[in-house]
Homo-oligomer: A and B are copies of this chain.
């Protein structure tokens, strides 16, 4: 089995590779190719992976290249984790929004839309190369905003493109822990689109345990989402939102914290510069990467814990690092394993959420097996959740159209239609900041 890791010079690559190197996958990988546009980053990450090979005593055939065609040629699995514009692009996504008084977040709100404007043309080209050079490959997309980008890739690759995010899984695990249950014993009735979903029920032998959790304030506030949203709100809506809903349900507080504190991309930029500038042995590179990762996770969603330092520390400690690496390899195992697994993935809707069209990418539990991947039927959801899903999918689709047709007017519309952007004027000014700072974008958006 050949695996191509696109954006392989990225900081997240070792998280994926580790799950493969530690021998816990059922799938046998014969060749792993890292692809990136930046040779220096490939070298540095290559050192970390070599460190991992040493650590686990493995010798996976590992190559690195800046030639996309060669990287994907004949691949069985393509992982796409490219970051168009690099960390500097992310910094711009976050700061341009904040400068206009709007939440600056990589995937949610204005930042997600501007990220997409930059990213969609690039991933579309990548998908076209994959269509030619790896016609049987499964394409697993990590590139954010995952739902939007996966929908764009599906236009080229159809059902072979699957989007992946470990946030729903992590939520389900935390809820299972709060309930004192093994996740393997439960059905998680989770629904939504990427970074905009809710856990509506937790079933054990067909019986919903969520009401019990909502009734028990101590348990409810014992885990990240419980603390983040507060027992009163969760009891009111009777669901547990994905942590990214904090940016919607508590937008004022998130914005205030972002405006007061440091921008996440700034922190990451400094941190990554330091990591990538490092050198030394594979073992040293691995140690450096691990230290950086721990620091990253320790400040994840910092804005949500403004002034609640201890909460942040508790929550960070409870987080599992690099869960997406594990999840993506589990997906490949499930696609080739016996029987069926259930994973929450980003796939075409069919009629899972009956208020969306069949091609819309949704994030719901899916059955995965050698036959393929099929989402389960969710049925009607609370109107307010439906409204948000439709609103964000509308903005995201406008962003795809804007990127593919290079229309400035549609780009403003995509921003303005997003529920977290309060005005057409603000949308226009955010876009202008991007056009001023990204000459490439300015050239293409008419």
Contacts and interface: CB of A to CB of B under 8 A. Distances in A.
Interface stretch (A12-20, A33-41, A419-427): A419-427
A353 interface: yes
A173 interface: no
Interface string A246-270: 0001111101000000000000000
Given A340-B342, A351-B352, 5 more contacts: A187-B374, A232-B412, A376-B376, A390-B390, A419-B419
B424 A233 contact: yes
Interface string A113-129: 00000000000000000
Given A252-B422, A384-B391, A413 B236 contact: yes
Contacts of A335: 205
Tell me the number of copies of this protein.
4
7 tightest A-B contacts by CB? A187-B371, A387-B391, A350-B379, A383-B394, A206-B372, A387-B390, A252-B423
Nearest to A413: B236
Given A236-B412, A253-B425, A383-B393, A365 B354 contact: no
A36 B298 CA distance: 62
14 contacts: A160-B206, A185-B371, A206-B373, A207-B372, A232-B409, A233-B416, A235-B409, A249-B424, A339-B341, A340-B341, A340-B367, A350-B378, A374-B376, A384-B395
Interface string A352-395: 11110010000001010111111111111011101110110111
B388 A387 contact: yes
Nearest to A407: B236
A204 interface: yes
B370 A185 contact: yes
Interface in A172-230: 184-189, 203-207, 229-230
Question: Considering residues A252, A369, A397, which has the most beta carbons from chain B within 10 angstroms of its beta carbon?
Answer: A252
A349 interface: yes
A423 B352 CA distance: 29
A443 interface: no
Contacts of A350: 377-379
Interface residues of A, number: 82
Nearest to A183: B371
Interface of A: 101, 136, 138, 159-160, 184-189, 203-207, 229-230, 232-233, 235-237, 249-253, 255, 335, 338-342, 349-355, 358, 365, 367, 369-380, 382-384, 386-388, 390-391, 393-395, 397-398, 409-410, 412-413, 416-417, 419, 422-426
Given A339-B341, A351-B354, A410-B236, A376 B378 contact: no
A371 B186 contact: yes
Contacts of A386: 390, 394
Contacts of A409: 232, 235-236
A206 B331 CA distance: 14
Contacts of A207: 372
A233 B410 CA distance: 10
A372 B340 contact: no
A181 to B, nearest CB: 10
Contact of A367 (B367, B378, B395, B419): B367
